[in-house]
A and B are shown apart, each in its own frame.
Chain A
Amino acid sequence: MKPPPFRYVRPDSLEEALALLATHGDEAKVLAGGCSLVPMLNMRLARPEVLVDVNRVGGLAEVRADNGDVTTGAMLRQSAFERSPQLRGALPLTAACAPYIGHFVTRNRGTVGGSLAHADARGELPLVLLTLGGSVLAESRRGRRSIAAEDLFLYHFTSALEPDELLTDVRWPAAAPGWGYGFAEMAQRHGDYALAMAACALRRRDGVVAEVRLGLGAVADRPLLAGEAAGVLVGQSLDGAAGDEAVREAASLAAAAAQPFEDLHASVAYRRQLVSLLSEQVIRQGWLDADDRAGEGGP
């Protein structure tokens, strides 16, 4: 349980980090919070030749708000989503998922960019970024590009980042009036990998659902948007018997959209049942939350 040999480099600037990635390409691995990479090193599941530690690169953990978005630097620690009143207010869905990311101690170290670049299909932050329709900025010596969350997560542990690219910023659509949010997860123990999770962002106008995005996590090789399930909610009030019916139909479509796998912890059927249950929960949370926020003035 000790890391294999590698060369450790610790750039102080972004230019230096990008130069190292350009030189070493896929023989290099970026070390951010280390909460996933270091276990993989210790278990010899990863054997990079060069470890590029970006923890001392300046300017990678800043938070900016502009045009209805919040941009967080990739090296922002996950604990910031729980502790910063500004982030909790602007990004309620991200804040809601934060307590489920690993444990209190790992969130002190784990980073938002590291979690997204790691692209674990069971990751909370990938699911939330996808549900909100956010994006990331990737930088290399070749230039800078924006990658939408929908294009970022290719499959389990594989993102669309090129080996010479560094994820530098994460763009989150901020909470807006009329919108409500919900997050729910089932794991065997708090902080364990989820068996299933769901997230919802829902806009309520004139007493009905005007717009809704439903995301599913840990039930496919990447986080999924359940578009068909979300579709049946649009134009509906989710109160009363008709609302219950719509929510149940959406939940059952979400369960059908999931592509869960079976392992010793849970069967496919059980995971689908969880997707249905969690989807119902987050849709209702989103609906009620949107009502609570309505006082802030609708569009």
Chain B
Amino acid sequence: MSDHREIAVTVNGRRYREAASDRMLLSDFLRQRLGLTGTHVGCEHGVCGSCTVHLEGAAVRSCLLLAAQADGTELRTVEGLASGDRLHPLQEAFREHFALQCGFCTPGILMAALDFLAHNPTPTRREIAEMLSGHLCRCTGYAPIIDAIAAVAGTGTTPEVTS
């Protein structure tokens, strides 16, 4: 019953066309069909935030979307942030502020934070903390993540990051 179909997507500016079953999640499609394993899969029910990617410019949970729903769309994943060896300013800030340890939650937080900053370029620490309520991190205690996002906010680096 679960038919396979061709899914055509543009991810980080590159075009892909791969088969997926109707019930394949977008998170699994990115990882298993496209080999883009930077997008992490944690809870698979929209709670942990680690699978967050950009769909047509907006941060979404890729575990709450079917691959079939993304057909014909443009996506951006954590692999699309750095330019060559040069980290994205937000990635750089995460490194400077020790905002990651094991790194499992980091790709999702980066993608969410970029969309968040695009809509709210000068957030308060409280607003950043509320945004982070959608992301589980078991290493950092969150404070360094808030530091990193606050450091980048309002520095003029955010408009460039909206996809």
Contacts and interface: CB of A to CB of B under 8 A. Distances in A.
Contacts of A4: 23
Contacts of A3: 23, 25, 66
Nearest to B119: A83
A8 B45 contact: no
Interface in B20-69: 22-23, 25, 28, 43-46, 49, 52, 58-61, 63-66, 68-69
Interface string A32-53: 0011001101110000010101
Interface in A70-111: 79, 83, 99, 102-106, 108-109
Interface residues of B, number: 31
A20 to B, nearest CB: 15
B112 interface: yes
A39 B63 CA distance: 8
B131 interface: yes
A70 to B, nearest CB: 22
Contacts of A109: 58, 60-61, 64-65
A216 to B, nearest CB: 24
Interface in A1-32: 1-8, 10, 31
A103 B133 contact: yes
A280 B112 CA distance: 35
B83 interface: no
A184 to B, nearest CB: 16
A10 B68 contact: yes
A5 B61 contact: no
A1 B66 CA distance: 13
Nearest to A38: B64
Nearest to A43: B45
Contacts of B61: 35, 105-106, 109
A187 to B, nearest CB: 10
Given A1-B45, A189-B133, A7 B69 contact: no
B133 A108 contact: no
Contacts of A190: 130, 133
Q: Is the interface of A mostly helix, strand, loop or mixed?
A: loop
B63 A103 contact: no
Contacts of B3: 7-8
Contacts, number: 105
A58 interface: no
B64 A35 contact: yes
B64 A34 contact: yes
A8 B64 contact: no
B63 to A, nearest CB: 7
Q: Is the interface of B mostly helix, strand, loop or mixed?
A: mixed
Given A2-B25, A6-B2, A8-B22, A108 B115 contact: yes
Given A104-B112, A108-B115, A191-B133, A39 B1 contact: no
B39 to A, nearest CB: 13
B134 interface: yes
B104 interface: no
Given A42-B44, A104-B59, A5 B2 contact: yes
Contact of A108 (B25, B49, B59): B59
A5 B1 CA distance: 7
B116 interface: yes
B40 to A, nearest CB: 14
A21 to B, nearest CB: 18
A102 B112 CA distance: 14
A35 B109 CA distance: 18
Contacts of B69: 10, 31, 34, 53, 55
Contacts of A10: 68-69
A109 B2 CA distance: 25
B45 A39 contact: yes
A119 B43 CA distance: 24
Given A103-B133, A105-B112, A5 B64 contact: no
27 contacts: A1-B45, A2-B28, A5-B23, A6-B2, A7-B2, A7-B3, A8-B23, A31-B69, A38-B64, A39-B46, A39-B64, A42-B45, A51-B66, A79-B58, A99-B130, A103-B49, A104-B112, A105-B52, A105-B59, A105-B61, A105-B134, A108-B59, A108-B115, A189-B133, A190-B130, A191-B133, A191-B134
Per CB-CB distance, the 4 closest pairs between chain A and chain B, nearest first, are: A103-B134, A39-B45, A1-B44, A8-B22
